[in-house]
């Protein structure tokens, strides 16, 4: 367990309380902030990268052309969907509060659209419509995925919203209240939503934790505005997705945590979590750390030795953060108004990995380092303009203004650890000691092709894919995706449709000095008169 201070490089103002951290396609994504102005990415989604174990940089993430607008949402309900039934990994995002204090009631589905040759990630955002008993606008709630009898559904609970319109006055116009303690259940295929009232859930709660395993969801902690308390509550909600209508049952357990706004991170493929941070009261942070294990028997909560907190963290009144991958947490602590400190927050990376795991992850991170200079050294400003007054000369070095998405040599992988001389797939037959050229285009390395599917994608030897040289050349042209045998069978491509060029309309040129004949308009009677006159 380590606590590592981080130095944000021109991105400290983008991380604010209420932001969310997502883990998608092997990357940590920051969501919930305004995007950089005058850039190719005004979406407010950034890739968080830790460089040299002390620097933190953000790289802008773009959305596909068919994506809908995704507003910067603070404290939404975020739920991860693992791949199932042939669907890719994705995230469900519901509700949230915008920087303009508008509360959303929309549901978005965020997936990976593509990853370019320089490993630039493009996401796709779609808004899903719900029918039936739809949950209202709220924030500070939770969403969880349950699986029962071969079906998958989403459970939504808790949160806060504005006071009803009929109860709002001039003094209480922006006052928020706890949402009614209803459990909303909606299926992901058809979007049918239903509301359920359970007697055990008699009081609204928000900023709690929700941990799910199979058909059970555990609601842990939370804050209630009605009683202004954080009782050590722990509920187990069981969902049975029957053929006709679902059956929900709730049970109040004894062992719980008196905590709100805590951060949870997963420590592996099993249902093992670590809870850190949060608040025990409005003026007291929770400095403890706990391990939560979900198994067939139920939930087990054990105390875990917290990291050695430094004085800046202990003396701060507030803190925030999120899960930065497995066994990692990103913490933000305000600078408490120090005039000598330019940034608004201090940032720390808390790792709960052992030394062996940390070495493996560090080696893997270095081997897959795909850093680009795009946006890294740009100063993020507000939505209006981008100014460079007062910039130092070293801040303008390696600036990417005007470069767009050009290829950067630094984006290439370190082939000593990844790429040509590794086992590209389960059936890889290439040996670096006895390798001989197979294609006529090969000089010193075997030909490779990039598989876009899987975590972060990977390179596969063309010979292992049993490709002919003509097929390899044909697949290497255009903007296409490749899939190896382990990710979809035979390779196929998705080619961008050719651009249609409208033919030019040819207009005949008129001679400048040409005189057009004079035409006189006459009635038929006048024409007959002149004809008889000249005859």
Ramachandran assignment for 150, one of left (phi > 0), alpha (psi -120 to 50 degrees), beta (any other): left
Tokens at residue 268, please?
């592996």
Residue (of 103, 80, 83, 82) closest to 92 by Cα position: 80
- The reply to whether 485 sits in an annotated binding site is no
Query: Is the distance from CB of 104 to CB of 73 less than 8 angstroms?
Result: yes
- The reply to whether 19 sits in an annotated binding site is no
How far separated are the first and last CA of the chain, in Å rounded?
118
Cα separation, 372 vs 413, in Å, equals: 12
H-type alpha helices, 431-516: 469-475
- The reply to whether 223 sits in an annotated binding site is no
- The reply to whether 394 sits in an annotated binding site is no
Cα separation, 207 vs 519, in Å, equals: 87
- The reply to whether 41 sits in an annotated binding site is no
- The reply to whether 52 sits in an annotated binding site is no
- The reply to whether 271 sits in an annotated binding site is no
Cα separation, 308 vs 314, in Å, equals: 10
- Residue 164, CB half-sphere, CA atoms under 13 Å: how many? 4
| Cα–Cα separations (whole angstroms), residue 130 to 105, 141, 184, 210, 362 | 10, 17, 11, 22, 42
CB atoms within 10 A of CB 516: 6
Cα separation, 81 vs 110, in Å, equals: 10
| Cα–Cα separations (whole angstroms), residue 380 to 337, 377, 387 | 21, 9, 10
Beta strands in 305-396 (DSSP E): 320-323, 328-334, 345-351
Residues in the chain: 535
Query: Is the distance from CB of 43 to CB of 62 less than 8 angstroms?
Result: yes
* Cβ-proximal residues to 533 (8 Å cutoff; 6+ apart), any chain: none
Cα separation, 33 vs 50, in Å, equals: 19
DSSP letters spanning 36-99: PTTSS--S-EEEEEEETTTEEEEEE-EE-TTPPP----BS-EEEEE--BTTBPPEEEEE--B-T
- The reply to whether 464 sits in an annotated binding site is yes
Query: Which residues carry a binding-site annotation?
Result: 424, 428, 451, 458, 461, 464, 484, 487
Query: Which residues carry a binding-site annotation for Zn(2+)?
Result: 424, 428, 451, 458, 461, 464, 484, 487
């Amino acid at each position: 367990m380590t606590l590592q201070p981080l130095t944000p490089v021109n991105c400290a103002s983008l991380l604010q309380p209420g932001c969310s951290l997502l883990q998608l396609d092997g990357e940590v994504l920051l969501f919930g902030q305004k995007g950089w102005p005058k850039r190719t990415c005004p979406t407010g989604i950034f890739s968080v990268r830790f460089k040299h174990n002390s620097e933190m940089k953000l790289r802008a993430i773009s959305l596909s052309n068919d994506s809908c607008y995704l507003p910067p949402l603070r404290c939404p309900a975020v739920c991860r969907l693992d791949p199932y039934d042939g669907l890719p990994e994705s995230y469900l995002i519901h509700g949230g509060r915008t920087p303009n204090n508008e509360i959303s009631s929309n549901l978005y589905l965020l997936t990976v659209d593509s990853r370019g040759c320089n490993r630039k990630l493009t996401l796709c955002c779609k808004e899903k419509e719900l029918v039936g008993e739809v949950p209202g606008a709220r924030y500070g709630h939770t969403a969880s995925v349950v699986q029962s009898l071969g079906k998958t559904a989403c459970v939504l609970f808790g949160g806060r919203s504005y006071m009803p319109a009929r109860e709002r006055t001039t003094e209480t116009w922006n006052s928020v209240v706890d949402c009614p303690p209803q459990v909303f259940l909606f299926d992901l295929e058809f979007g049918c939503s239903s509301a359920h009232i359970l007697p055990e859930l008699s009081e609204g709660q928000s900023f709690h934790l929700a941990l799910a395993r199979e058909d059970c969801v555990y609601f842990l902690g939370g804050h209630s505005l009605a009683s202004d308390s954080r009782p050590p509550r722990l509920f187990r909600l069981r969902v049975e997705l029957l053929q006709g209508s679902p059956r929900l049952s709730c049970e109040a357990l004894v062992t719980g945590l008196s905590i709100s706004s805590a951060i949870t991170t997963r420590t592996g493929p099993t249902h093992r979590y670590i809870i850190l941070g949060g608040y025990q009261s409005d003026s007291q942070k929770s400095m403890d750390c706990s391990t939560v294990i979900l198994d067939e028997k139920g939930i087990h909560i054990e105390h875990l030795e917290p990291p050695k907190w430094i004085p800046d963290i202990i003396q701060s009144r507030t803190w925030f953060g999120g899960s930065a991958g497995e066994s990692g947490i990103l913490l933000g602590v305000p600078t408490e108004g120090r005039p000598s400190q330019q940034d608004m927050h201090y940032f720390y990376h808390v790792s709960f990995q052992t030394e062996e795991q940390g070495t493996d992850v560090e080696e893997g991170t270095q081997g897959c380092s795909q850093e680009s200079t795009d946006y890294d050294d740009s100063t993020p400003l507000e939505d209006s303009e981008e100014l460079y007054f007062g910039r130092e000369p070293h801040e303008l070095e390696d600036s990417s203004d005007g470069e767009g998405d050009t290829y950067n040599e630094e984006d290439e992988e370190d082939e000593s650890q990844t790429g040509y001389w590794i086992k590209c797939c389960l059936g890889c037959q290439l040996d670096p000691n006895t390798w001989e050229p197979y294609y006529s285009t090969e000089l010193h390395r075997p030909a490779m092709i990039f598989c876009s599917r899987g975590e972060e994608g990977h390179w596969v030897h063309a010979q292992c894919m049993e490709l002919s040289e003509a097929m390899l050349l044909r697949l290497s042209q255009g903007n296409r995706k490749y899939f190896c045998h382990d990710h979809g069978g035979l390779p196929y491509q998705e080619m961008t449709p050719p651009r249609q060029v409208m033919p030019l309309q040819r207009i005949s040129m008129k001679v400048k000095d040409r005189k057009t004949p004079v035409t006189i308009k006459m009635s038929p009677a006048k024409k007959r008169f002149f004809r008889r006159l000249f005859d």
